[in-house]
Structure 1
Amino acid sequence: MINIIKTTKEIILRGKNPLIGSIITGFIAGVILFEVLAPQIINAEFKNPTPVAVSIKLVKNGKLTVCKLNKEAYETIKKVKMIITAYSSAPDQTDDTPFTTASGKHVVDGIIANNLLPFGTKIRIPQLFGDKIFIVEDRMHTRKGKYHADIWMSEYSQAKNFGAKLTDIEVIES
C-alpha cells in the first residue's frame, strides 16, 4: 500500500506544487483506509432473491386486500432479522406532533416504525408477539438504519422496560 501511495504521489507531483500533491495523496490514502476499516452494511439473506421493495409493492398493489379472520391465511413473503425496540408518544421521543405518525395516522396499538418497509406493510414478530399483526405507519431517525424497528406503546414505562431485542420479523401479505 505504501508503494501505491508513493507511485500515486509521483504521478500527481510531476511539475506541480508538492503541497497539492501531498493533499491529494492524503485524500486518496484516507479513502482507501476508510473503505478497508469502515463497518459494512448488513444484508439480510432472503430465500427468494427478489428485492424486498418489489415484494412489498406486490402486497400493496398486486392483490385486493381483504380482512381475513383466520390468521393462518397470511402468507409470509420475507423474513428479515431486525433489532426491535419500543417507543411511546412522550415529547422527548417524538417531534412536535407526538400522537401523529409519519404517514399522518393517529397512533394506536399495532403501529410500528421502520425505515426499510413502505407505509402500510403488515408484519409479524412471532418470537415476541406470536400472531399479532403490526402495520408500518411511522419512521425512525436515519441513524437507526433500515434493520431496526420501533413498536409504539401507550406508556413510557412499557417502552422503557421492553428494551432491545434481536429477532426475525415476517413481512406478510393479506
Structure 2
Amino acid sequence: MTFFKQDATIIGQENPKLDNHHYARDFLFKKIIYMKQMKLLREEIIPLSSKQSLLLYIIIACIFQFVLFFAPTLANQAVAQNNDLLENEVVITDSLINNEVLTKSETMDESIKRAFLPAHTDKEVEVLRTGFYTMTAYNSDPRQTDDTPCITANGFNVCEHGIEDTIAANFLRFGTKVRIPELFGDRVFVVRDRMNQRYTDRVDIWMLDYQDAKKFGVKIAKIEIIE
C-alpha cells in the first residue's frame, strides 16, 4: 500500500530535473536556430550592403573621372568660342567702321565736286554738215613742211602737244572741229594747219611717225563738221 502511494506520488508529480533538462535543450536548440538565422542574415544583408557600397563608389568614381576628363575640354571649347566671337565682333566692327569711313569719304567727295567743280552734262554732238573729201597724212618732217616743222600755220606746236588730233585744210577756218567716223571713229580733229594753195578740197592729217603717214596713203572718206 505504501509502495503504491510512493509510485503514485512519483508519477503524479512533476520531476524538476527533467523539466530543467528539457528547458536547457529547447533553449540550446533555439539558440542554434537563431545563430544560423543571424549567419544567413549577415551573409545576405551585409554582403549586399558591401555590393551597394562598391557599386556606389564605382558610379561616383566614373562621374568624377568624366567631369575631370571633359572639364578642360569644355573649358577650352568655351574659350575658343569666346575668342571666335571676339574676332568676329572685331572684324564686323572694323568692317562697319571702314564702310562708314568710305561712305563719309564718298559723300565728302561728292560734296566737294558739287561745290567746286562745274556741273558736267553730256552734250549731244551736233553735226553741222558732212562731205566726202580726199585725205592724206603728213608729219613734222622738214621735207614735207617749212623750216618750222613742229609749228602749224596758226602757231600751234604739234610736237609738244604729241596727240594726233591736228589736220590741215584750206576750206575750213582755224579751230573747226571735225570727225572722220569711217577711219577714226569718235576722235575729234581740230583744223590748225594749211596745205598748199592748190589743194582746195583736201584734208591732211598730222601723224607722229613718218612711216605711219606714208602707210596711210590717199583715202576718200566722209567728214563730219561738228563745230
Q: TM-score normalised by the shorter chain: which range applies?
A: 0.5 to 0.7
The structure with the larger Rg is 2
Q: Aligned residue for 1:117?
A: 172
Task: Render the CA deviation track for 1:42-101: whole Å, top value 9, x for unaligned.
Answer: xxxxxxxxxxxxxxxxxxxxxxxxxx884x721100001111110000110000000000
Is residue 132 from structure 1 mapped to residue 187 from structure 2 by the alignment? Answer: yes
The runs of 5 or more residues in structure 1 that have no matched partner are 1-67
Higher RCO (CA < 8 A, seq sep 6+):
1
Is residue 104 from structure 1 mapped to residue 134 from structure 2 by the alignment? Answer: no
Higher helix fraction (1 or 2): 2
Identity of aligned residues (%): 49
Q: Aligned residue for 1:149?
A: 203
166, 171, 174: which one pairs with 2:225? 171
The runs of 5 or more residues in structure 2 that have no matched partner are 1-119
Q: Aligned residue for 2:140?
A: 89
191, 207, 216: which one pairs with 1:162? 216
Q: Aligned residue for 1:77?
A: 128
Opposite residue 124 of structure 1, the aligned amino acid is: R
TM-score (norm 1): 0.57
TM-score (norm 2): 0.44
Change (3 A) 1:155 1:144: same
Opposite residue 103 of structure 1, the aligned amino acid is: N
Q: Which runs of 4+ in 1 moved over 2 A?
A: none
SS at match of 1:159: helix
Aligned equivalents of 1:112, 1:73: Cα separation in 2: 23
Opposite residue 171 of structure 1, the aligned amino acid is: I
State how many pairs are aligned: 105
Q: Aligned residue for 1:4?
A: none
Aligned equivalents of 1:73, 1:91: Cα separation in 2: 40
Opposite residue 186 of structure 2, the aligned amino acid is: D
Opposite residue 95 of structure 1, the aligned amino acid is: D
Task: Render the CA deviation track for 1:112-140: whole Å, top value 9, x for unaligned.
Answer: 00000000000000110010000000000
SS at match of 1:86: strand
